[in-house]
Amino acid sequence: KMFWMEISCMSEPEILKKVCKIAETDPDVQGHVPEMLWFKKFDDTSTMQIQERLGLKTEGACVLYIIIFRKLRPITELHGDLFLNTWWAMVKCHYVLWKGGVYHWDISPSNLMYRIDKQNQIVAVLNDFDLASMEATFIRTQCTGTVPFMAVQLLDKAALRVKSYICMNMTRSRSFGPWSGS
């Protein structure tokens, strides 16, 4: 995965450290998050340098990251009970992470994945934490996520003034079912 991350935001590797800490003690998270094999932050690619040279505000400056994860498959390949059981495992994982102070913010079909373990079993994986934030550092200045899968309450400017609750974020995973074709 190669992406530009806003410098002022907590990075995906930092978020995944916290996620792994939660996974150590909770079976609903254990094995249900992506396994990061390697990452590199390319500080010399910072857009802040260009913005400063042009006399522009450096707010919103980004830096390039490359992260290598184990290969995952999309949950949309699954059907029937396999789909439902895999989806439910991700709902539980998402809930535990939320209670642990990790807010994913982008529950959508492309981020609900699975892998096959050594026992040839399907394991749900909640993927893509690049829009995630931590409760302790979270300042709501914008709505993040995939619009068709967001709670209606979050699509209003007034929503920026209130704390987002788990029920609003869970709407994302619930509304995803019809899109999956399952």
Q: Are strands 112-116 and 122-126 parallel, antiparallel or unpaired?
A: antiparallel
Please say whether the beta carbons of 18 and 134 come within 8 A. yes
Q: Tell me the three state secondary structure of residue 117.
A: coil
- Residue 146, domain CATH: 1.10.510.10
Judge whether 64 lies within some domain. no
In a domain, 63, yes or no: no
pLDDT over 90 (residue 40) = yes
Q: 119: domain range? A: 10-34+71-180
3-state DSSP percent of the chain in helix, strand and coil, to 5: 40, 20, 40
Domain presence at residue 1: no
Burial class (CB in 10 A: 0-12, 13-18, 19+), 152: exposed
Phi then psi for residue 30, to 5 deg, are: -50, 120
Each residue's pLDDT tens digit, 135-157: 766 555 544 555 444 454 544 55
- The model's pTM: 0.74
Q: Look at residue 39 and tell me if it is in a domain.
A: no
Residue 44 lies inside a defined structural domain of this protein: no
Whether 160 maps to a domain, the answer reads yes
> At a CB cut-off of 8 Å and minimum separation 6, what does 54 contact?
none
Q: Which of 156, 143, 142, 152 is nearest to 172 (CA)?
A: 152
pLDDT at 8: 85
Q: Which of 46-60, 68-82, 105-119, 157-171 has the lowest mean pLDDT?
A: 157-171
- Nearest to residue 146, comparing CAs of 90, 108, 89? 108
Indicate whether 5 pLDDT > 50: yes
Q: What's the domain count of the chain?
A: 1
Whether 57 is in a domain gets the answer no
Q: Provide, rounded to the nearest whole percent, the portion of the chain with pLDDT above 70.
A: 74
